[in-house]
Structure 1
Amino acid sequence: MDALLLTAEETAKLLHIGRCKVYDLIRNNELRSIKIGGARRIPRSAVEEYVARLLDEDAA
């Protein structure tokens, strides 16, 4: 079963980018995330939405 929530590190690996870039995307509201206690997590659906937006922008 795939995890519903990913860490910044897991998201970075999925997108083949650095962890700092993931935090930049979150800070710039380009990638949705949630906070659980003191932990920041990225929903898998948010990663898929982000990639879909990139594909749409590239096609335009």
Structure 2
Amino acid sequence: MLTIPQVMARLQLGRSTVYDLLRTKQLDSITLGRARRIPVHSLTDFIRTRLEQGAA
């Protein structure tokens, strides 16, 4: 499970862009109490999908 800052660092994107990806369901997350976490497989799937779109 990754935090928002960890996803920001891995994708080299800003906080608002990461939240936009979550809001538009391009990136999945779960909420634990007040904390939002992104499963590692969700980030991997997001990257894989983007790479496939770029290759098409």
Same fold (TM over 0.5): yes
* Stretches (4+) displaced over 4 A: none
* Structure 1 length-normalised TM: 0.89
SS in 2 for 1:29: coil
Counterpart-to-counterpart distance in 1, 2:3 and 2:16: 12
CA RMSD of aligned residues (A): 0.6
Structure 1: gaps of 5 or more residues: none
Task: Quote the sequence identity (%).
Answer: 39
Structure 2: gaps of 5 or more residues: none
* Structure 2 length-normalised TM: 0.95
Aligned residues: 56
